[in-house]
Structure 1
């Protein structure tokens, strides 16, 4: 072998050794720990709301399981859109959010200038829980069943009124679904929240309302309101004598209020999977079950794929109704 040939081989071996030496630390270097600073759980509703109560049950579990404080950050406004938009635009890798039907499924149809796209800007983590709603009326209306209510509405077209917590809200859309299936005419009266709507129902200023059972249970127990039907697939444990809408003759008329956990679309998949795993563990705790039972919710605790599919179905169903009826966020 010539001297030049031996020199070239030695040089190549040296370069290979140097490359291996320099490359080894890169191959062995561990990924930075996550989370490495406090987590922020944005709840786009005020303190004391159902999402807020649920968020404050979940946050301590994240703190214990993930080794960093998890802080609940209430950012209410615009039906939950303000806080949800904050989650969509977060870039710190440590922000996620707990929201409801509206900001994820119906807001794109209600708000033409929505500053975020739920399908594009948000990543699903977990479908947390769902709650069937209940159709209630003022006792002075003189109806005892859903069939009675439909008959009275048909006999007095446009004379009966129903309240909701806002145009395009779950209760509003559930009643519009009933109207479409039965052909009855009811006048919609939107409110800023359910307390005033319940007060007006009890006072007889509106005829009916659809809302979660926790918002009306005291009035039902006092005889200040009459429950006619529930929107869930099965009867509610809190109202075992009240039939479902399906039992009352409206096949397919099921609907739920629900809560979900989402992250910015930029959050890495492994972090989302870890949050989904810890969320399922948190929802299995007795405290979570008691809190949700009290609020009339049942635990779901799904993974990201199930939440994505559910939101897509809800957006198609209710978004389609909003567009068909020309419902806007203003009424």
Structure 2
């Protein structure tokens, strides 16, 4: 009986993807291929994890490959991200992560991966609008009122986040600098306790995803003041963007994307990109995103590479100005 080494087996899988990308029929063994591990560097049940599982469920059907989602958490997402950077670049290990991948290089000086050099961009997946939310007890119902109150306050208004260096924290730093106000940061260990304290009036403000913000607003516990991003969100079309309310250069989104290790063959990346774009167009996937206030992205890998380079520079400036560091 002939034994096939793992190296040969992986090579057949890569060849199968490459032949498929050329419209040729690969051998049956290569078509099936080995399992694909999709690393999500966040806890199970988090927003990137839930979307990663939805994505891989459909990729499994389209590619006839077993897709295994593995949560490798720790060090603000760096442990799982580094594991993919160091993985064999054959298409069997992928990364689904959030835009923290472009923030962490400025937060961690000893980081052992580079978001551009260590990965091949596969596809931008989805954007999730952040909104500025304040406790109902603060007494401000508009962005203008909040800015005016912050400027007039003898003691700075406080705001919460799931932790130092999280997107929620950095978005508030970006906003407060553009608005010219002082605020005091109260970091929490995770999102849930911060949201609980905001709803209870123990902290005054924070950024959160628009779907969660509108649910709390319906309960009368918070007011949603403004939306990040360049356009309004269909889930809450009444919420104006920062730009519409006179505060410019806050048009950034929270986003998630798929990456492969640097050196992954172009044919493999191309095949993965094509399949991801197919998934993003599926009615059931789009409906699931819409209910969460998310917007599909997609496009060729070059779209994601440009996004990584642009946002890395943007957040590096914010982090430097705010003097934030995590090591």
Is TM (by shorter chain) over 0.5? yes
Any idea what SS the aligned residue of 2:234 has? coil
For the aligned residue pairs, the C-alpha RMSD in angstroms reads 1.7
Residue 277 (structure 1) aligned with residue 265 (structure 2)? no
My pick for the range that moved more, 93-102 or 150-159, is 150-159
Whole-Å separation in 2 of the counterparts to 1:208 and 1:272: 41
Partner of 1:167: 164
Q: Which runs of 5+ in 1 are unaligned?
A: 1-29
Which residue among 166, 183, 186 is the counterpart of 2:183?
Answer: 186
Deviation at 1:66, TM superposition (A): 2.0
Alpha carbons 1:157, 1:184 under 8 Å: kept: no
Give CA-to-partner distance per residue, 1:159-184, whole Å, 9 cap, x none: 20011122222222221122212221
Partner of 2:116: 119
Give CA-to-partner distance per residue, 1:135-189, whole Å, 9 cap, x none: 0101111111100000000110542001112222222222112221222110011
Structure 1 residues 146, 61: CA separation in 2 closer, same or farther (over 3 Å shift)?
A: same
Residue 88 (structure 1) aligned with residue 110 (structure 2)? no
Structure 1 residues 158, 125: CA separation in 2 closer, same or farther (over 3 Å shift)?
A: farther
Partner of 1:215: 212
Whole-Å separation in 1 of the counterparts to 2:154 and 2:63: 57
Whole-Å separation in 1 of the counterparts to 2:284 and 2:81: 26
Residue 176 (structure 1) aligned with residue 180 (structure 2)? no
Whole-Å separation in 2 of the counterparts to 1:235 and 1:156: 30
Q: Structure 2 length as normaliser, TM-score?
A: 0.87
Whole-Å separation in 1 of the counterparts to 2:61 and 2:241: 40
Whole-Å separation in 1 of the counterparts to 2:326 and 2:155: 22
Partner of 2:22: none
Alpha carbons 1:55, 1:72 under 8 Å: kept: yes
Whole-Å separation in 2 of the counterparts to 1:133 and 1:326: 23
Superposed structure 1 runs of 4+ greater than 4 Å apart: none
Alpha carbons 1:194, 1:215 under 8 Å: kept: no
Residue 259 (structure 1) aligned with residue 239 (structure 2)? no
Partner of 1:27: none
Structure 1 residues 149, 291: CA separation in 2 closer, same or farther (over 3 Å shift)?
A: same
Alpha carbons 1:198, 1:216 under 8 Å: kept: no
Any idea what SS the aligned residue of 2:263 has? coil
Count of aligned residue pairs for this structure pair: 300
Which residue among 116, 131, 140 is the counterpart of 1:143?
Answer: 140
Partner of 1:298: 295
Q: Which runs of 5+ in 2 are unaligned?
A: 1-25
Deviation at 1:35, TM superposition (A): 6.1
Partner of 2:42: 45
